[in-house]
Amino acid sequence: MTTQQNAANARNVTTIGHVDHGKTTLMDALLAANNIISSRMAGKIRYLDSREDEQQRGITMESSAVSLQFTVMERNPEGGSSPKTHTINMIDTPGHVDFSSEVSTASRLCDGALVLVDVIEGVCTQTISVLRQAWIDRLRPILIINKFDRLITELQLTPVEAYHHLAQLIEQVNAVMGSFFAGERMEDDLRWREERERRLAKKKEAHADEVDATLSKADADEFQEKDDEDIYFAPEKGNVIFASAIDGWGFRIGKFAHLYAVKLGMKEANLRTVLWGDFYLDPKTKRVISYKHLKGRVLKPLFVQFVLENIWAVYEAVVLKPDSERVAKIVSALSLKIPPRELKSKDTRYLLSLIFSQWLSLSTCVIQTIVDIVPPPPSAQRVRIPKMLYPDIYETTIEPKNKLEENLFACDDRPEAYVVALVSKMFAVPVEELPENKKRPVTAEELRERGRTAREARKAAETNGDADLNIVPVPLSSEPDGTASPAQPSETAAELKQGGENVAAELGIQTGETLLGFARIYSGTIARGSTIYCVLPKYNNTLPPSHPRNQSHIVTAKAERLYTMMGRELVEVQEVRAGNVFAIKGLEGKVWRNATLCAPRSVGVQGPDLERDKECLVNLGGALRTAAPIVRVALEPAVPADLPKLVNGLKLLAQADPCVETFQQQTGEHVIMTAGELHLERCLKDLRERFARVEIHASKPIVPFRETCVKGAEMAPPKSGGKRGTVYGASVHNLVKFTIRASPLPKPIWDFLQDNLAVIRQLHRESRNRDLSQRNTNIEAVEEDPAEIDIQGELYKPPTVEPEQFWSALEDICKKCGGEWASIIDRIVAFGPQKVGTSLLVDLRKTSSKSLKARLATNKEENVSEERQIVNDFDGYLETGFQLATLQGPLCAEPVEGLAYFVESLEINYAGLEEERVQNRMAQVTGSFISAVRDACRNGLLDWSPRLMLAMYTCDIQASTDVLGKVYGVVARRRGRIVAEEMREGTTFFNVRALLPVVESFGFADGVYCWFLSLIFATEGIRRHAQAYIGCCKPSAHI
């Protein structure tokens, strides 16, 4: 089946907006218009919220996609109209801040966005962030002012009041758009100047002598500002829909212009320009006048008179003051066809939707608007692809430079065009729900039949000896499975499931979850079964594919199956043509979260050859970034033996959800990081029911602490009597004695190490890999998963140096710090904890072993004397003690940061050691030595002024003037600090930025909305409002 048609008739659109503003309800209306759900249920079942928890909570948690087909009458140039069928791929996204990554993955795949705003709540925090997302991805937005009914039934505004309210709301949304535009304009200006300077410099070099003469006119040109006319929402431009998704109606002013043009004797196009705004109908002259000509008269704007009053009239007659006669009059005035029986219906909301669905059908309006406003893929890609390929370009469009760009810009779907598709996320689907497995409902039926036959046979044999009765007729119709009737009590659900699984196993169908890629094809046609290249996110477009850095970021995969998505259903297709959104099977284990799929032609890659196919390879997903996860909890299975299942489940989850990070902590605990508390709940549910399928215990949110020490103002005298931090220690029988001194690291060294932890890890890894290959072992050099490198419980920051420059940069910093730090570079023997941290072990002995720098550079083992070997062994134990001490500090067993431990002396009693060795008691000596070193390091830290460090969040809080004081109160109570505060222009809101200790942050949202509860909102949506007000919290550096 190939459902997609010509790309020019396709549209890819996403619904975005703040939580609860009605996105999923709106989707119901579109699904009903496509007969996927009944129109009576539209607005009630929120069909795309297919998860159980989504339905229970009434909130979307995962985005879902659906392909719809609509036939729209299109006007042709000759004045007539003809039907044209459009495929509209819609993606419904969640509005809750915890799931904002779903919005970014969806918007990458679409060309247009339906931005929903609740007419009463107006512009909220998430509205701004989704608008920004749409702006960045160059989506064409359509504003839907939803929940219009609330103005009439809840606020009970008059039409005139409502008009002013609406005008203000549109202003607010436009202010947000304006701020994006202004920001971009400044960036553009800067970029333009840089570009110009670069061009001039190039020219200067080329014609050193004739610079002035070659200054062409274009170079001397002034910066051309872009026009901001078309970025704003304006009802007269047709990009604003007024709607009530729940009552199933929506309109643009064009609809009323069409209705009234003849009546008012005006041209439809002219009426459209004046139907919104301060224009009035002069009752005497019957002409439209602007407010200048009002001359003191009190007239209603046209929008109030011709649009709002009509809608108010319907609501009044049907809901507010039910009056069936008036309803009948309205119905006949609007020439609607409603059966008299329905007119008397007591279900007023149903009657309302009957009237509106004929008069101002929401689905017709939305579809028409999408077709009018959202560009079809070929024109959309002309604008969006250049920005994806070259994020820094100034121009809106550029000319294609090669075949790849030609195909991409034009959305070319011919079989010989390069295939390029972007997978923006991987999502999990139960294997049994894939269409290829679903086709066999007979299997369960067969199973039941088998059981039934056997049972009946048994029964018959028991009651009657007649062998003929053993033949039981087999019913021909196959009922949908799982409907075990109560008449067959022995057929329990468990039995059925068990049986089903056996049959599934017999047929080779696996149970469990499988991962599919969620993708959009930008060029070419992808065919089922073809082989494709998967270009992974770290692929560098500027280097050739055969470059060593790029090679590992290309893998090949087979497009095993292709599907179009129908909400809860997947429909298998043989091929997908450019411009469509689809799901693909076959990437599991190859693609981690996102990738660009490429192939030279529709039939796929014939024998991978990077050199031959290099022209078609491109990375479109490199810059896909999602919000950083912040809430961490440790997980353990209820039954310890289930640990492997949990680990596997975590792996699947991390892949299926771009906003989840999982890792094993230094303490061995398995930790999951999620975007928020609600997101955590969803993840736990998924782990329990889908990915791990075991009972799991989750700890309370973990808060990272670190231990360190500082030079306090008033410290007790050093315990050892010598330099502060010095500790003497020894193994049993004083066979090995040592002196260690702890000292806090100077801030520049600490900062440098903190910034470059990833580099230290990489140096260790490279050395290990080299070691492995030198020894010629069969073990493959381990390439760590990129997702794991950065995280490991540390907050990720891009390093400030390249690995090659690490040691020289560290040396420079140490020299700058002076004193004993100046010469430590060749004496550093380890970083800690766990070899990668900001604590140092520095060996000051004259005969010290090789420094870490030297060891990392070469792995050669030299032949050493026996005595030297003993010293080397004890150097190793020394490091073990140091690693233990820094992993669990003396205060509360948290990792130690920012300390240097100097080994000042190490004395070995060789004769005594030899005796112990002969007596076979070496283990005791080494054990006691390691613990002595560990204790010495801990005591050394305590000799200074010890400190426990808290992780801090940066929180953006939005508060109105009257509650600003309270915000300060809550932040202060939680030991937070306000770092910035500014008034949002054009509103009464303040943006407050605060630093808040992570340990105090749980329930912070609760704290804020407790008083919001009493102060601001008195409606049911309080919880969500307050959460939204917390905005996004991002982890910042430790302090």
**CB of 48 vs ligand GTP, minimal distance in Å:** 8
Inter-helix orientation angle 910-918/922-943, to 10°? 130
Between 94 and 604, CB nearer to Mg ion: 94
**CB of 64 vs ligand GTP, minimal distance in Å:** 10
Q: Which residues neighbour 349 within 8 Å (Cβ) at sequence distance 6 or greater?
A: 247, 319
Q: Would you count residue 95 as binding ligand GTP (CB under 6 A)?
A: yes
- Residue from 111, 137, 149, 661 that binds ligand GTP (CB under 6 A)? 149
Q: Would you count residue 23 as binding Mg ion (CB under 5 A)?
A: yes
Rounded Cα gap, residues 836 and 754, in angstroms: 10
Candidate ranges 58-66, 319-327, 786-794, 869-877; the one touching Mg ion (CB under 5 A): 58-66
Q: Sign of torsion, CA 267 272 275 278?
A: negative
- Residue from 60, 363, 368, 886 that binds Mg ion (CB under 5 A)? 60
Rounded Cα gap, residues 320 and 548, in angstroms: 72
Chosen from ligand GTP, Mg ion, none, partner binding at 29 (C-beta under 5 to 8 Å by type): none
Candidate ranges 21-29, 369-377, 699-707, 961-969; the one touching Mg ion (CB under 5 A): 21-29
Structure tokens that stand for 48 in this block: 């795309």
**CB of 594 vs Mg ion, minimal distance in Å:** 23
Q: Would you count residue 252 as binding Mg ion (CB under 5 A)?
A: no
Q: Which residues neighbour 353 within 8 Å (Cβ) at sequence distance 6 or greater?
A: 39, 42, 43, 247, 248, 249
**CB of 603 vs Mg ion, minimal distance in Å:** 40
CB burial class (10 A; 0-12, 13-18, 19+) of residue 896? buried
Decide: helix, strand or coil at residue 957: strand
Q: Would you count residue 244 as binding ligand GTP (CB under 6 A)?
A: yes
Between 60 and 305, CB nearer to Mg ion: 60
Q: Would you count residue 827 as binding ligand GTP (CB under 6 A)?
A: no
- What is the helix (H) or strand (E) element at residue 134, kind and residue range? helix 125-136
Rounded Cα gap, residues 70 and 208, in angstroms: 63
- Residue from 11, 21, 108, 561 that binds ligand GTP (CB under 6 A)? 21
Binding to ligand GTP (CB under 6 A) within 450-489 occurs at none
Candidate ranges 55-63, 151-159, 402-410, 1027-1035; the one touching Mg ion (CB under 5 A): 55-63
DSSP-derived letter for residue 896 is: B
In angstroms, the Cα distances linking 1022 to 145, 235, 1026 are 21, 31, 6
Candidate ranges 59-67, 287-295, 468-476, 498-506; the one touching Mg ion (CB under 5 A): 59-67
Between 244 and 708, CB nearer to ligand GTP: 244
Q: Which residues neighbour 790 within 8 Å (Cβ) at sequence distance 6 or greater?
A: 758, 796
Q: Would you count residue 246 as binding ligand GTP (CB under 6 A)?
A: yes
* Of 956, 923, 981, nearest in space to 732 by CA: 923
Q: Would you count residue 245 as binding ligand GTP (CB under 6 A)?
A: yes
Report the b/e string of 661-676 with b at 16+ CB within 10 A: bbbeeeeebbbbbbbb
Neighbouring CB atoms inside 10 A of 304's CB total 19
Candidate ranges 30-38, 57-65, 139-147, 1027-1035; the one touching Mg ion (CB under 5 A): 57-65
Q: Would you count residue 150 as binding ligand GTP (CB under 6 A)?
A: yes
Q: Which residue carries 């069969």 as its tokens?
A: 778
Chosen from ligand GTP, Mg ion, none, partner binding at 245 (C-beta under 5 to 8 Å by type): ligand GTP
**CB of 60 vs ligand GTP, minimal distance in Å:** 3
Between 96 and 632, CB nearer to ligand GTP: 96
* Of 52, 997, 32, 65, nearest in space to 516 by CA: 65
Q: Would you count residue 24 as binding ligand GTP (CB under 6 A)?
A: yes
Q: What number of chain residues touch Mg ion (CB under 5 A)?
A: 3
**CB of 891 vs ligand GTP, minimal distance in Å:** 43
- Residue from 14, 22, 151, 407 that binds ligand GTP (CB under 6 A)? 22
Between 250 and 729, CB nearer to ligand GTP: 250
Between 10 and 91, CB nearer to ligand GTP: 91
Binding to ligand GTP (CB under 6 A) within 45-74 occurs at 46, 58-60
- How far, in whole angstroms, is CA 13 from its chain's centroid? 18
Rounded Cα gap, residues 386 and 401, in angstroms: 11
Q: Sign of torsion, CA 186 192 195 196?
A: negative
Between 44 and 973, CB nearer to ligand GTP: 44
Rounded Cα gap, residues 527 and 361, in angstroms: 38
Q: Would you count residue 676 as binding ligand GTP (CB under 6 A)?
A: no
Chosen from ligand GTP, Mg ion, none, partner binding at 25 (C-beta under 5 to 8 Å by type): ligand GTP
Decide: helix, strand or coil at residue 901: strand
Q: Would you count residue 24 as binding Mg ion (CB under 5 A)?
A: yes
- Residue from 14, 25, 89, 655 that binds ligand GTP (CB under 6 A)? 25
Sheet holding 899-908, edge to edge: 726-730, 736-744, 899-908, 839-843, 828-832
Q: Is 912:736 a contact under the CB 8 Å cutoff?
A: no
Q: Would you count residue 544 as binding ligand GTP (CB under 6 A)?
A: no
Q: On the CB side of 828, how many CA atoms lie within 13 Å of its CA?
A: 28
Site residues (vs Mg ion, CB under 5 A): 23-24, 60
Site residues (vs ligand GTP, CB under 6 A): 17, 19-25, 46, 58-60, 94-96, 146-147, 149-150, 244-246
